[in-house]
Amino acid sequence: MANRKILILGANGFIGSSLVWKILTDTDWEVVGADLSDNKITESLKNPRFKFSKKDIVKDRDWVEEQVKECDTVLPLVAIATPALYVKDPLRVYRLDYEANMEIVKMCVAHRKRLIFPSTSEVYGMCPDEFFDEYKSNLVLGPIEKERWIYSCIKQMLDRVIWAYGNHEGLQFTLFRPFNFIGPKQDDIKAPQEGASRVLTQFSHNIINGKTIKLVDGGKQKRAFTFIDDAMDCMLKILENKGGCADGKIFNIGNPYQEYSIRELAEMLVELVGEYPEYAENAKNAKIEIVPSEDYYGKGYQDVSRRMPSIKQAEEILGWKPATDLRTAMKLTLDYHLLGKDYELERAK
C-alpha cells in the first residue's frame, strides 16, 4: 500500500485511539496525532510511525493548520458525543463540535486534503424507518426546547456543508456514521462521569459497585451495538479507499445483527459481571430501578426508541460485515477493565 500520512485529531479518544492502533498494526502508514491527553495510546506512542502532540484544536489552530498541510488525509475526531452533555451543556457541544470542526473542514478545502468526517447515527433522530438508510431515510428531530437534538443538528449541518464542498468545490470526502460503538477504551467503568457516561459504562460501574441500575423510561428502547474492532475494520477500508470507492459517500457503521433493548443489555451485563469472582456477590444483588428520562437527564431530553442501521453501503461497496456479538464485545470490555487484559496487545504479540 502506498505510503500515507494521516492526521488524527482526537487521537486519544475512543475511536481515535482504536484507529491509531489499527493503522499502525495493519499498515505501514504514518500517523500524526493530537489530543489533550495520551492515556489511551501509551502502546502506540512507542511506534516511530506515530507522531503525537498534546494540543487543543481550539487554542492551537495554527499548529493544526500546519499539520493539515503536511498530511494527505485528515480525520477530525474531536467532539463531545455523550447525550447527557447535549442536554447539560449544549453550547459547549456547539462550540467544539460545530465551530471548531468547521474550521478544520475549511482547512481541508483550502489545502485540498482528503477529509474523513465522523457524522453520527444521531442524525437520523426519531426516523421511523426499520433500517436507517444513508441516502433515503429522513432525518427527524424534535422541537428546539428538546436540547438533546443540538448534536444531531450540528452533525447534520456539517454533513450538508461537507457534501456541498464535495459537489461544488471538489473536496474529497467520506462521511461515516457510528452506531453505538462499544469496547475497552470507551470510558473507564471504574470512574464514569456520573450521569454523563454512555450506557454500558454506567451500567457496568453500577453493577460492580453495588449501585442500582437506572433504566431510563423502562429500558424498552433499542440499540444495535457495534464492537469497536469491527468498526475499525470498516474504517480501514474507508481509509484504503480502493479505486476511490469511498469518495463522496456516506457509510453507516453498525451491527444490525446485534440489536438489544436497554433492559436486555442490563440483564446480560449482570449475568456477565457475575462470572468475575470478585464481583459475583454484587452482581447477584444487582437492583434495577425504572426512572423517568426527565429525572435522569432533565427536561431537554428525548429518547430514540430504535436505532437500526442499514449497512448495505458498507457491505456492497467496502466488502465489510461486522462479526462480533454483543456478549463477546462486553466480555472483552469487562476483561479489560476488571482483569487488566488487553486483547489488542495479546493479539499483537
Residue positions annotated with a catalytic role = 122, 307
CB neighbour class for 269 (10 Å; exposed up to 12, middle 13-18, buried from 19)? buried
Minimum distance from residue 347 beta carbon to ligand UDP (Å): 26
Distance CA 102, CA 168 (A): 17
Of 231, 222, 87, the residue nearest 151 (C-alpha) = 87
Minimum distance from residue 126 beta carbon to ligand UDP (Å): 12
Cell triple for residue 202? Answer: 454506567
Minimum distance from residue 195 beta carbon to ligand UDP (Å): 8
Q: Which is nearer to ligand UDP, 214 or 249 (CB)?
A: 214
Which parts of 288-347 interact with ligand UDP (CB under 6 A)?
A: 303-304
At position 336, the amino acid (one-letter code) is: Y
Q: Which is nearer to ligand UDP, 167 or 305 (CB)?
A: 305
Exactly one of 83, 183, 256, 309 binds ligand UDP (CB under 6 A); that residue is 83
* Cβ partners under 8 Å of residue 104, min gap 6: 9, 57, 64, 68, 74, 76
Minimum distance from residue 288 beta carbon to ligand UDP (Å): 10
Minimum distance from residue 296 beta carbon to ligand UDP (Å): 7
# chain residues binding ligand UDP, by CB under 6 A: 14
Q: Is residue 24 near ligand UDP by the rule CB under 6 A?
A: no
Q: Which is nearer to ligand UDP, 74 or 153 (CB)?
A: 153
Query: What's the sign of the alpha-carbon dihedral 287, 290, 293, 298?
Result: negative
DSSP letter assigned to residue 13: S
At position 346, the amino acid (one-letter code) is: E
Which parts of 175-234 interact with ligand UDP (CB under 6 A)?
A: 180, 198-199, 202, 214-216, 219, 221, 223
Q: Which is nearer to ligand UDP, 98 or 179 (CB)?
A: 179
Q: Which is nearer to ligand UDP, 189 or 262 (CB)?
A: 262
Q: Is residue 256 near ligand UDP by the rule CB under 6 A?
A: no
Minimum distance from residue 174 beta carbon to ligand UDP (Å): 22
The distance from CA 135 to its chain's CA centroid, rounded to whole angstroms, is: 21
Distance CA 349, CA 347 (A): 6
Minimum distance from residue 225 beta carbon to ligand UDP (Å): 9
Q: Is residue 123 near ligand UDP by the rule CB under 6 A?
A: no
Which parts of 36-65 interact with ligand UDP (CB under 6 A)?
A: none
Q: Is residue 148 near ligand UDP by the rule CB under 6 A?
A: no
Distant-in-sequence contacts of 189-197, Cβ < 8 A, 24+ apart: 189/333, 189/334, 189/337, 190/337, 193/82, 195/84, 195/296, 195/297, 196/82, 196/84, 196/85, 196/88, 197/82, 197/84
State the Rg of the chain over Cα.
20
Cell triple for residue 39? Answer: 492515556
Whether residue 100 contacts residue 92, with contact meaning beta carbons closer than 8 Å, is answered with no
Q: Which is nearer to ligand UDP, 100 or 123 (CB)?
A: 123
Exactly one of 262, 272, 273, 318 binds ligand UDP (CB under 6 A); that residue is 262
Whether residue 98 contacts residue 151, with contact meaning beta carbons closer than 8 Å, is answered with no
Q: Which is nearer to ligand UDP, 41 or 79 (CB)?
A: 79
Inter-axis angle of helices 101-110 and 149-169, nearest 10: 10
Residues near ligand UDP (CB under 6 A) are 83, 180, 198-199, 202, 214-216, 219, 221, 223, 262, 303-304
